[in-house]
Amino acid sequence: MTDTRLDGGDGLVIWPGRLDRCAQEALLEAIADAVRTAPFFIPRMPRTAKPFSVVMTNCGPLGWVADINGYRYQKQHPDTGNLWPPIPAALLALWEDLTGYAAPPEACLVNYYRPDARMSLHRDEDEDALDAPILSVSLGDTALFRIGGRERKGKTRSFRLASGDVLMLSGEMRHAYHGIDRLYPGTSTLLARHADLFPDGGRINLTLRRVAKVR
């Protein structure tokens, strides 16, 4: 584990290699257990029902879902109807250590990127607690992360996020458009530990969010 951080002073902070290989493997075990409890589902665009290129599940009291009816948080898995599994303790500790926020996250989005998957520029604004940061953990293959500002067509900058890297969006950057342009297949062997769940390798992104405002 390292405390090295890249801080642009605008709310975007990256901790390269925050999780060492041992910590990554332990976290992957917890995520694999969660995926077996709450299987991956395919999120879809509102109105058109076009599928995302990623599949996903959630941990925590709330989970984020996307379907023809829109984006929302709910307590149950959309396919099984079961409650989401709890957020792994290691992620809760990471949130407490890095964010300084007064309340814990309520949702952990688990996005699985196969080698050809991507995520178009978007903003995370389905939460009431927009003052809370977003904390993101990368596991698996390196990805090219791109971030801009409040306008979709504004200037952007790009960073490579490798396995074990942690990223936080807060302040102005909490409202910025961001996405994943591509993966670099074969840059990590981590997911091979669970080839039954991740047969194509790829990348897992874990995104911690606070949904409700702190009263």
Neighbours of 37 (CB within 10 A): 16
How does DSSP classify residue 41? B
Neighbours of 196 (CB within 10 A): 8
Average pLDDT over residues 107-135: 94
Residue 81 predicted with pLDDT over 90: yes
Q: Which residues make Cβ contacts (< 8 Å) with residue 67, sequence separation at least 6? A: 43, 44, 46, 49, 78
Among 184, 147, 189, CA closest to 167:
147
Would you state the pLDDT for residue 8? Answer: 66
Q: List, in order of start, the domains of the chain with CATH numbers.
A: 6-209 (2.60.120.590)
Spatial distance between the Cα atoms of 197 and 50, rounded to a whole number of angstroms: 24
pTM surpassing 0.85? yes
Q: Which residues make Cβ contacts (< 8 Å) with residue 149, sequence separation at least 6? A: 155, 172, 176, 177
**pLDDT tens digits, one per residue of 101-111:** 999 999 999 99
Among 90, 94, 111, 105, CA closest to 29:
90
Consecutive H or E run containing 95: helix 89-99
Q: What percent of the chain has a predicted confidence (pLDDT) above 90?
A: 88
**pLDDT tens digits, one per residue of 133-162:** 999 999 999 999 999 988 888 899 999 999
Average pLDDT over residues 108-133: 94
Helix (H, G, I), strand (E, B) or coil at 12: strand
Helix (H, G, I), strand (E, B) or coil at 57: strand
Sign of dihedral through CA atoms 20, 21, 22, 24? positive
Helix (H, G, I), strand (E, B) or coil at 36: helix
The total number of residues written for the chain in this structure: 215
